[in-house]
Structure 1
Amino acid sequence: MMKEKKSILGRGLDELFESKIETLAPRELPIIQIMPGDSQPRRHFDPEKISQLSVSIRDAGLIQPIVVRPSNEHNIYEIIAGERRWLAAKEAGLETVPVVVKSIADREALKLAIIENVQREDLNVLEEAEAYNRLILEHNYTQDMVASEVGKSRSHIANTLRLLNLPDEIKEFLINGQMSAGHARALLNDENSIETARDIIHNNLNVREVEKRVKKKKGSGRTSKPVADEENITQRITSLVNAKVVVSIKKNAIQVGLSFQDPWDLEDFINALSSSARA
C-alpha cells in the first residue's frame, strides 16, 4: 500500500495539477503582481543559494514557470509553488516571470505546496512538521490522511509532528543546522533537553551518544507541575494518536476529546494504553 502512496508523490506536480485542478495557459506576469502565499510551508531560504540561482536566471532566464493562483486582491497572484525562484528572479532584476495560473482552494494549495517541497526535500524538518500540523488543525486531516497525501508512513508523520513539542532554543539549533532531526528526536523525552542540546553542540555528540545519555537520566521522577496549555496539549496528543483532538481546560478539570475515523486507529490506541499500563 505504501508503494502506491509513494508513487502518487513521485508523479510530480504537473500531473497532480492537471488531474485535479483547473489550469489556465502559461503566461508572463509582472513580478510586482506576485506575492508569497499563506500555503507556503517553507519559511527559511538560504540567501547564498538564492543569489546563486539569481545568477543562473540572469544568464539563462527563468526556465520553469512559477505556479500561482488569483488572490483576493485585484490583479495580485499568490505563489503556490516556486517562491525560491520568485525571490531569485527579483534579485536578478527580472520585471516579468513565466507563470502557470491555477484555480485552487486553500486546502488544495497547502497540500500541493507541501508535496512540491517534500519532493524536492526543500523543507527543514520543523517546516515539514508545521506543514503537516496545518493540514491536521486547519483542514481536519488525520495522520493517516496526511501520510497518504504526501507519500510517507504514518510513523514518519507522527515522529515528525512530535518535534513541534521541543523548546524554541532547540528548534533554532535545528533550523540553523547545528543538530540533526535524529538528535532532536532523542531529546523529546529529556527533561533537561536544552542542557543536553547545548552539550550536543559543544561536544559534537552523535545521536547514539545522546540516546544513551537520555536513557540513563530517564526515570529520575517529575521535577515540577506541568503548565496546562490547550494548544500545546493538543499538539502533543495529536503527535501520538491518529485522531482529531479537542482539549478544553476548565477550572477544576482538563477535558480531552478524541474522535477516531477508523476503528483500527481506536484499537491501536487502546492497545498502546494497555501496553503502557503493563510496562
Structure 2
Amino acid sequence: MATKKQNRGLGRGLSALMADVQPETATEDVGVSTPRKPDMLIPIDRVEANPDQPRRQFSKERLDDLANSIREKGIIQPLIVRPHPDKPDSFQIVAGERRWRAAQVARLHEVPALVRNYDDTESLEVAIIENIQRSDLNPVEEAAGYKDLMEKFGHTQEKLASALGKSRSHIANMMRLLGLPAEVLEYLRDGKLSAGAARAIITAEDPLALAKKAVAQGLSVREIERLAKAPAKGDTPAAPSSRKAEKDADTVALEQSLSSSSGMKVSIDHKPGDDKGSVTIRYATLDEFDDLCRMLGGDV
C-alpha cells in the first residue's frame, strides 16, 4: 500500500492567510487612490514571478489598460512577495503578478511590496486565494482554484464558502465544471460558453456534441437545458416497465461533485420516493484505495 499522506495544518489558518489578500482598500483597478502602505519599494529587476503561479493566462488588453492606470496613479495595492528561496537579495511574487507585469509595460523602475516569509506551501495557497478574490478569472481557472484549495490544503467547501464570501452551492457548481471534456473547458476559457451554459451541458449524454452545437448556434441556457434532457437521435425509449429509471439532475450533480472532490468515480443509486439507496466508489489503483480509506476514517 502507498505511504500515507500527512495532513498539513497551517498555524495561522485560511482566514489569517487571507488577511494579506483581502482588499482592505480600493485598488488601482477602480481608480480610487487610497493605497495600502507597503513595507518597501523594490527594484523591479529584483522581483521574479513564481513558477508555480496558478494563473497562466494574462490578457494583453487588460494589462495595457492596467499599465495606463499605473502610469497615471501608480501601483495603489502593493504586491505580496517573499525572499527568493534561491537568489539572495531578490524576491519572488506571492500575489500581484498582473500588477508586476503591467508595471513593466508602464516602464516603472520599482514596485511597492509587502514582504512575507511564506514557505512554498503557504505561498501557493495565498496565490490561489488572491487569484480567486481579485482577478477576473475564467470559470475554469476559478474552479481549479477551489479544487486546489481543497485537495492540496484540506479545506472543505463550507470553510472556503465562509472565508471567501461565496455560497457553498456556488463553489460546488463551479467545481462540477471540471468534469467536462477538455474541449468544452477550452470553450469556457475562451468565453465561448458561460458557466451557466456549461452547467446545463454537464447532464447531457454527449456533452461535447451539445457544446459544439451551443457555440455554433448561440443557444441560450434554457435551450441547452432542454436539449440536454432530450434523448439522442435514433434512441428508442424502452417500455416503462423494463427501462431503468433515469437519475434526476440533482443526483447527477451530486455524483459529479463527489467524483471531483474525491478524484474517483462515484455512483449514487437512489429510488425516487424511497429513503434507502447506495453509493458506489470505484478506485483504479491501490493508492486511490489508500486515499479512500483515509477519507472514510479507516486504517490501512
TM-score by length of 1: 0.70
How far has the Cα of 1:242 moved from its partner?
Answer: 9.8
For 2:86 and 2:202, locate their aligned partners in 1 and report how far apart those are by CA, in whole Å: 43
How far has the Cα of 1:245 moved from its partner?
Answer: 6.0
Give, as a single letter, the amino acid of the residue that structure 1 aligns with 2:76: I
8 A contact 2:22–2:133 mirrored in 1: no
For 1:238 and 1:141, locate their aligned partners in 2 and report how far apart those are by CA, in whole Å: 19
Deviations 1:123-146 (A, max 9, x none): 111111111111122122232233
1:144/1:242 CA distance change after superposition, 3 Å: farther
Give, as a single letter, the amino acid of the residue that structure 2 aligns with 1:249: A
For 1:242 and 1:145, locate their aligned partners in 2 and report how far apart those are by CA, in whole Å: 17
Partner residue, 2:83: 70
8 A contact 2:149–2:155 mirrored in 1: yes
How far has the Cα of 1:241 moved from its partner?
Answer: 7.0
Instruction: Say if 2:97 is the partner of 1:61.
Output: no
Pick one of 161, 171, 181 that aligns with 2:175.
161
Pick one of 60, 64, 82 that aligns with 1:47.
60
Pick one of 249, 263, 270 that aligns with 2:284.
249
- Give the 5 Å matches for 1:120-135: 120-135=134-149
Pick one of 192, 204, 208 that aligns with 1:194.
208
How far has the Cα of 1:198 moved from its partner?
Answer: 1.3
Partner residue, 2:220: 206
Q: Number of residue pairs matched?
A: 232
How far has the Cα of 1:104 moved from its partner?
Answer: 2.4
Q: Secondary structure at the match of 1:80?
A: strand
Deviates more, 1:91-100 or 1:55-64: 55-64
Pick one of 257, 276, 284 that aligns with 1:239.
257
8 A contact 2:144–2:178 mirrored in 1: yes
For 2:169 and 2:213, locate their aligned partners in 1 and report how far apart those are by CA, in whole Å: 28
Q: Secondary structure at the match of 1:152?
A: coil
For 2:50 and 2:259, locate their aligned partners in 1 and report how far apart those are by CA, in whole Å: 30
Instruction: Say if 2:70 is the partner of 1:35.
Output: no
For 1:88 and 1:243, locate their aligned partners in 2 and report how far apart those are by CA, in whole Å: 35
Partner residue, 2:250: none
8 A contact 1:200–1:210 mirrored in 2: yes
1:155/1:14 CA distance change after superposition, 3 Å: closer
Deviations 1:205-253 (A, max 9, x none): 00010001001137x69xxxxxxxxxxxxxx9683279766774259xx
Instruction: Say if 2:93 is the partner of 1:84.
Output: no
Partner residue, 2:194: 180
User: Which protein has greater RCO, CA pairs closer than 8 Å, 6+ apart?
Assistant: 1
How far has the Cα of 1:161 moved from its partner?
Answer: 1.0
For 2:165 and 2:131, locate their aligned partners in 1 and report how far apart those are by CA, in whole Å: 13
8 A contact 2:80–2:96 mirrored in 1: yes
How far has the Cα of 1:181 moved from its partner?
Answer: 0.2
Q: What residue ranges of structure 2 are gaps of 5+ in the alignment?
A: 1-14, 25-36, 237-253, 265-281
**Between structures 1 and 2, the one with greater helix share:** 1
For 1:208 and 1:25, locate their aligned partners in 2 and report how far apart those are by CA, in whole Å: 48
Partner residue, 1:171: 185
Deviations 1:46-96 (A, max 9, x none): 101101211222233323211112231223322222111111001112221
For 1:62 and 1:71, locate their aligned partners in 2 and report how far apart those are by CA, in whole Å: 22
8 A contact 1:245–1:257 mirrored in 2: no
For 1:167 and 1:86, locate their aligned partners in 2 and report how far apart those are by CA, in whole Å: 34
How far has the Cα of 1:9 moved from its partner?
Answer: 7.9
For 1:32 and 1:59, locate their aligned partners in 2 and report how far apart those are by CA, in whole Å: 21
Q: What residue ranges of structure 1 are gaps of 5+ in the alignment?
A: 1-5, 16-23, 222-235, 262-279
Q: Secondary structure at the match of 2:229?
A: helix
1:12/1:93 CA distance change after superposition, 3 Å: closer
Query: How big is the alpha-carbon RMSD for the aligned residues of Structure 1 and Structure 2?
Result: 3.6
TM-score by length of 2: 0.65
Pick one of 130, 141, 144 that aligns with 1:116.
130
Q: Secondary structure at the match of 2:137?
A: coil
Deviates more, 1:85-94 or 1:27-36: 27-36
How far has the Cα of 1:180 moved from its partner?
Answer: 0.2
8 A contact 2:140–2:178 mirrored in 1: yes
For 1:10 and 1:214, locate their aligned partners in 2 and report how far apart those are by CA, in whole Å: 42
